Chains A and B, each alone.
Chain A
Amino acid sequence: MATEHADNVQHAEHALTPSGYIEHHLSFNAYPVNESAGFWTLHVDTFVMSVALGLIVMGLVWLVARTATAGVPSKGQAFVELVFGFIDDQVKNIFHGNRHSFIAPAALTVFLWVFAMNAMDFLPVDWVAGVVSFFGGEHAKWRAVPTSDINTTFALALSVWILMIFFAVKVKGLGGWIHELFCAPFGTKIWVWPANFLFNMIEYVSKPLSHSLRLFGNMYAGEVIFLLLGLWAATGLTGTIAGAILGAGWSIFHILIVALQAFIFMMLTVVYLAMAHESH
């Protein structure tokens, strides 16, 4: 779990100060892509981890899909088809259009990618830090869980948000969409237009926020708990044993959270995109 190397990775400056340890583990490997820095900063760790995971996961699925046969499937194909069927069933229950052209494959991408990124939480935090400090020196920072970076979850949620508006305009036309902004859900009477518009604005703002913050909060909290257990493990033999046991327990419980949050994120994506297709 997160305990064994707690001592090893402490830098002299941070040695055994809890705030230093946590700060080290919650700092991004930030790289300014522009002199002005500020917004123009890239979290290299988040980006590299997520892209690598995306390529690995979707690449593996692609390798299976390439040679997919309608006959007797191989074990790998059977597993991929199991995931495929699971996602397809969920989408089918929510969205009643041509799901195969976009929404279902998008849901598959979201589920597998988010699941893989969440699953990085199982890597012991100090082992990751150990590997990184071996290559990058003691000051090197590396956060392994891309979904505990608000940028990732917000990027996904905003992409879904943009798709949502895109589909709404595509299905209802620009006029229809604007009409709906003012005339739903309370009715078409002119004096309820402000209420309708306000209601829709709140909905459009709250959707990406709740979508992204739910995933971010869960993964961030999970990581912080691993760090606290790691801290405890650094306080002596009792702490090491207790921290290891609790860390194991939290990891096992975290399997549920990782899968559940990936599933929820995928379901919300599908629900939002399906809602965009529906006329009121």
Chain B
Amino acid sequence: MNINFTLIAQAIAFAVLIWFTVKFVWPPLLKAIETRQKEIADGLAAAADGRNSLEAAAKKSEVTLTEAKQKASEIIAQAEKRGTQIIEEAKGNAKVEGDRIIAGAKAEIEQEVNRAKEGLRAQVSTLAIAGAEKILRKEIDAKAHSELLAKLAAEL
């Protein structure tokens, strides 16, 4: 247990070693470790951001999907309504057209009837004249009475 000059020598060696560590050993290690810690922290933060934006995107897509479904059902409902409307319209048109055709047909029939009546009338007058002729042949000269007969035919 003798204290001697070794004490001073060791203290100097100690001081030099501490100085060396403070100056050259600690800073690069600290820098490397802190840089890596920062990188890891940044990476984790980026991962969290990614997760968040993924969640937001999922939510957004859900909303969009719901909206699209709603719109689709609206469109379908509208189309159904329009379809019914078109059918109703067509029905109406068809009825009108039908009525028109029927009316046309009726008019034509009437015309036809009139024409037939006219024909019949002419024929009846001819027949009447023929009958009268046969009756009168014996008594009247056709030539003398033709004027009278024509007048009669016209009156029929």
Task: Please say whether chains A and B are actual partners in one complex.
Answer: yes
Q: What secondary structure prevails in chain A residues at the interface with B?
A: helix
Q: List 20 A-B contacts (CB under 8 A).
A: A34-B5, A40-B4, A41-B2, A43-B6, A47-B6, A47-B13, A58-B20, A58-B21, A58-B25, A62-B20, A62-B24, A73-B32, A100-B26, A106-B21, A109-B20, A151-B6, A154-B3, A155-B6, A156-B11, A158-B7
| A171 vs B31: C-alpha distance when bound (angstroms) | 27
Annotate A73-117 by CB proximity to B: 1 below 8 A, 0 otherwise. 100010011001100000000000000111011101100010000
Q: Is A19 an interface residue (CB 8 A)?
A: no
Contact status B29-A151, CB under 8 Å: no
Interface residues on A, range: 35 or more
A42 within 8 A of partner (CB): yes
Partner of B17, one of A85, A100, A113: A113
A42-B9 contact, Cβ under 8 Å, with A62-B24, A105-B25: yes
Q: Which of the 9-residue segments B33-41, B110-118, B143-151 touches chain A? A: B33-41
Pick the interface stretch among A64-72, A134-142, A224-232.
Answer: A64-72
Interface residues in A185-217 by Cβ distance below 8 A to B read: none
B4 A106 Cβ-Cβ under 8 A:
no
Of B10, B20, B39, which one neighbours A152 at CB under 8 angstroms? B10
| CB under 8 Å from chain A, chain B span 99-150 | none
Within 8 A of A (CB), among B32-65: 32-33, 35-36, 39
List residues of chain A with CB within 8 A of the CB of B8.
155
Q: How far apart sit A134 and B114, CA to CA, in the bound complex (Å)?
A: 161
A102–B25 CA distance with the chains assembled, in angstroms? 12
Mask: chain A, 246-260; 1 = CB below 8 Å from B; 0 = not: 000000000000000
In chain A, what residue has the closest Cβ to B11? A155
Asked if residues B7 and A51 are in contact (CB atoms below 8 Å), the reply is: no
A279 on the interface (CB 8 Å rule)?
no
Does A42 contact B5, Cβ atoms closer than 8 Å? yes
Interface residue A235 (Cβ < 8 Å from any Cβ of B): no
B17 / chain A contacts, CB cutoff of 8 Å: 54, 58, 109, 113
Q: Are A102 and B24 in contact (CB under 8 A)?
A: no
Apart from A70-B35, A102-B22: 20 A-B pairs, beta carbons within 8 A: A39-B4, A41-B2, A42-B9, A43-B6, A68-B29, A69-B32, A70-B33, A84-B29, A84-B30, A84-B33, A105-B18, A108-B26, A109-B21, A150-B3, A155-B7, A155-B8, A155-B10, A155-B14, A156-B14, A159-B14
